[in-house]
Homo-oligomer: A and B are copies of this chain.
Amino acid sequence: MPRGRTRDQDARQRVLDAAFDLVGSEEYRKVTINDIAASANVAKQTIYRWWPSRTAVVLDALVVGSMKATPFGESGDTRADFRAHLRGVIRVFNSPTGALIRELIAESQSDAAIAEEFRRRFWRPRRELSLAHLHRGIDVGHVRPDIEPEMVLDAIYGPLWLRLTIGHLPLRLKDADDILDAIWPGVAAQR
């Protein structure tokens, strides 16, 4: 048994909640560590004891808060599964969580360590699911076996990320259909 005061799990959660709320709020401009600490009623040092940097907190808030988001369905129709998944991702991108993701992408551009951490903890797990589902589509004969799977996924999800980061066009649920209309003919197996 460790001696001394034990870690306050409640404080940890308050930090994550505060980070999520502050970064995810509409009118945020720049959320500082002090803001998070004050909002969580926690000492700055407590944050630094458990996270190496402000961005790490945001990443944790993102990962913890999105853990069960956008699962893949198993309807037996691969295209329909992707459609449902795309709609889930669009919902997430339009929610406060979208702001956290944007924040992390921003930080990733100037910090390779953050970029890698973001990919490792957020991107890859989700990518694996999509990739697995695409392979399953090949196995069941819905998807052409000679495609380049990574590129197909980039083409399917790329428009979402593009609109999230560039903001040149809004992101609506119906866009899921437009994407698949454009992509699926080149992906679907020939009869």
A residues at B contact (CB < 8 Å)? 27-30, 102-103, 105-112, 115, 118-119, 123-124, 127, 147-148, 150-152, 154-159, 161-163, 165-169, 175, 178-179, 181-187
Contact = CB atoms under 8 A, between A and B. Distances in A.
B123 A168 contact: yes
A86 B92 CA distance: 29
A156 B152 CA distance: 11
Given A154-B162, A158-B158, A186-B186, 7 more contacts: A105-B165, A148-B181, A151-B175, A151-B178, A155-B159, A184-B186, A185-B186
Given A110-B106, A184-B186, A186-B186, A155 B152 contact: no
Determine the main DSSP class of A at the interface with B.
helix
B119 A109 contact: no
Given A123-B166, A158-B161, A166-B123, A151 B110 contact: no
A123 B162 CA distance: 12
Contacts of A102: 109-110
